[in-house]
Structure 1
Amino acid sequence: MQDASRRQFIASTALLGAASMLPTTATAQTACPSLPKLIHQVYFWLHNPDSAEDRDKLIEGLNSLRQIDSVRGLQIGLPASTEKRDVVDNSYQVSETMLFDDAAGQNAYQVHPLHQAFVEQYSHLWRKVVVYDSVAV
């Protein structure tokens, strides 16, 4: 029992130490006031969810969006193999997170010819898309 308490104490102390190294949102925004403020997250469900070819083709298309001037950052992801919990939805096949300075930048992206071409050339791959837009605080 004493070993278990000691291990728990060591683990808790390590976690607290690591957490103290992370900046708070306010600190991060103050330290880097030029960080993009609008976060555009998109989740794609493919018609053929088991097709690596379709997944890779979509990723290729998403990468082409990096060329749009108002896109300040772009991260493409696949579902993580994390713990199964009721609040975790990893039923999608591909995700992308884009950063914009503001809503005007995101609006410019939506009508940009490269984005329009992306939708035209790749939309046949997905059966569902969900978008979450948020503003950094």
Structure 2
Amino acid sequence: MKTRRKFLGSLPLLGVGLALSNPIKAKPEKSIMIHQVFFWLKNPEKDLKSVKKGCQKLAKIKFVKKAFIGVPAPTANRPVVDHSFHISLTIHFESLDDHDFYQKNDDHLKFVERHEHKWEKVSVFDIHV
């Protein structure tokens, strides 16, 4: 009985030890390239819909693994949060080569040509994960 209590009493320590020895992996199995684009439009009421449609076409380009199109979230205003953009596009690629293919793709080049006069500012963040 004493041995059983001792064993049961040590289980929480065993669990903590196992948790510490097996850290959570935040990194995906494969490395990926993330391409994030934020658009500030000159006339968002007029142009948001067409730019969004254009982004949806970009999401279908070969080598695009995932794509997300969004607008600012209704999160609290804080000094570090920028809600000033009108629309964003986030694309995942499996490699830098896939990203480079996308940049030269005719559909991407047509998107820029069709819509660049609509934006006041564009910021791009390319991230290797």
- TM-score by length of structure 1 reads 0.73
* 1:133 counterpart letter in structure 2: D
Write out per-residue CA displacement over residues 77-97 of structure 1, whole angstroms, 9 at most, x where no aligned residue. 000110111100010000010
Amino acid across the alignment from 2:90: T
Name 2:103's counterpart in structure 1: 110
Report the counterpart of residue 122 of structure 2 in structure 1. 129
User: Which amino acid in the other structure matches residue 48 of structure 1?
Assistant: N
- The RMSD of aligned alpha carbons is 1.4
Distance 2:85 2:25 in 1: 30
Map of 1:89 onto structure 2: 82
Q: Helix, strand or coil for the counterpart of 1:44?
A: strand
Unaligned runs of 5+ in 1: 1-22
Quote the residue 1:48 is aligned against.
Answer: 43
Distance 1:100 1:134 in 2: 10
Counterpart CA distance in 2 for 1:98 and 1:70 is 10
Question: By how many angstroms is 1:118 displaced?
Answer: 0.6
Matches within 5 A, 1:67-82: 67-82=60-75
One-letter identity of the residue aligned with 1:74: A
Q: Identity across aligned pairs (percent)? A: 37
- Aligned residue for 1:25? 26
Structure 1 or 2, whichever has the larger Rg, is 2
Q: What residue in structure 1 maps to residue 93 of structure 2?
A: 100
1:120 maps to 113
SS at match of 1:67: coil
How many residue pairs end up in the alignment?
A: 106
Query: Residue type matched to 1:65 in 2?
Result: L
Q: Secondary structure at the match of 1:97?
A: strand
**Segments of 4+ in structure 1 off by > 6 A?**
none
Task: Provide the TM-score with structure 2 as the length reference.
Answer: 0.77
C-alpha deviation, 1:24, in angstroms: 4.0
